[in-house]
């Protein structure tokens, strides 16, 4: 019986993440999705919300379960009895990052193996940042995320008012905040 841990921030989980989780679930007997608690990033959803959204998006995977974790990923892997850490690779930047962290993890925990799955071509450009940026500019995101996540994002962005212009992909100064909504002036 091989159990794998697929760790990430998942803020929010998108279809690229779901694709990796599904493919991991087809390889390993059990896959635990590790939702990282309090990463050093600005988050749209808190840990409980991200766990809830992941569990809705992956409800169809019977050999998948979800845990929140903090601290070292290898410690989480050991704690849940996972022999393998699964990560997704979109590009060379992901490879450089994952190989560095993966080698450090191997030093700390030689008993835990790393398994990187290449992104499917249709999701290679997709990131949580892009989904948040487009949603924050009132763009359509239903093609990228589970319907319950699209709904939760719309609700959260309405509550928050907007994303900050400093964080936008466009990086343009002509992004202004009007009555709590982002208005992008072409
Ligand atoms: P982290 O902060 O740990 O990178 P993310 O939620 O951004 O958390 O990503 C979790 C994992 O999913 C990482 O291994 C990342 O490379 C992978 N991933 C992210 N987007 C995609 C995608 N479009 N296709 C495949 N894997 C992806």
Q: What is the pTM of this model?
A: 0.87
Q: Tell me if residue 14 is catalytic.
A: no
| 3-state SS assignment for residue 96 | helix
- Check if 41 is active-site: yes
How far apart (Å, rounded) are the C-alpha atoms in residues 77 and 41? Answer: 22
Give the pLDDT confidence of 6-61 residue by residue, as tens digits. 999 999 999 999 999 999 999 999 999 999 997 666 899 999 999 999 999 999 99
Residues 98, 114: Cα–Cα separation, whole Å:
9
Predicted confidence band of residue 181 (pLDDT cuts 50, 70, 90): very low
Domains and CATH numbers, the chain: 3-123 (3.40.50.620), 128-174 (no CATH)
Nearest CA to ligand 1 atom 1: 8
Which residue's CA lies nearest to atom 20 of ligand 1?
127
CA dihedral of 159, 147, 11, 97, whole degrees rounded to 10: -150
Distance 87 CA to ligand 1 centre (A): 7
Asked whether the bond before 99 is cis by omega within 30 degrees of 0, the reply is: no
Q: Is 156 a catalytic residue?
A: no
């Amino acid at each position: 019986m091989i159990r794998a841990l697929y760790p990430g921030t998942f803020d929010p989980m998108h279809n690229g993440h779901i694709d990796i989780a599904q493919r991991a679930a087809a390889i390993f007997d059990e896959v635990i999705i590790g939702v990282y608690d309090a990463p050093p990033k600005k988050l749209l959803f808190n840990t409980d919300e991200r766990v809830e959204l992941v569990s809705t998006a992956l409800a169809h995977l019977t050999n998948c379960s979800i845990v929140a974790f903090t601290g070292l990923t290898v410690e989480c892997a050991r704690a849940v009895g996972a022999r393998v850490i699964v990560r997704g690779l979109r590009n060379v930047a992901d490879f450089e990052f994952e190989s560095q962290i993966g080698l450090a993890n191997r030093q700390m925990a030689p008993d835990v193996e790393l398994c990187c799955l290449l992104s499917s071509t249709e999701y290679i450009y997709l990131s949580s940042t892009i989904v948040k940026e487009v949603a924050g500019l009132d763009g359509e995101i239903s093609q990228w995320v589970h319907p319950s996540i699209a709904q939760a994002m719309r609700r959260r962005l309405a509550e928050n008012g907007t994303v900050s212009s400093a964080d936008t992909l466009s990086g343009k100064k002509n992004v202004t905040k009007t009555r709590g909504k982002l208005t992008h002036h072409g």
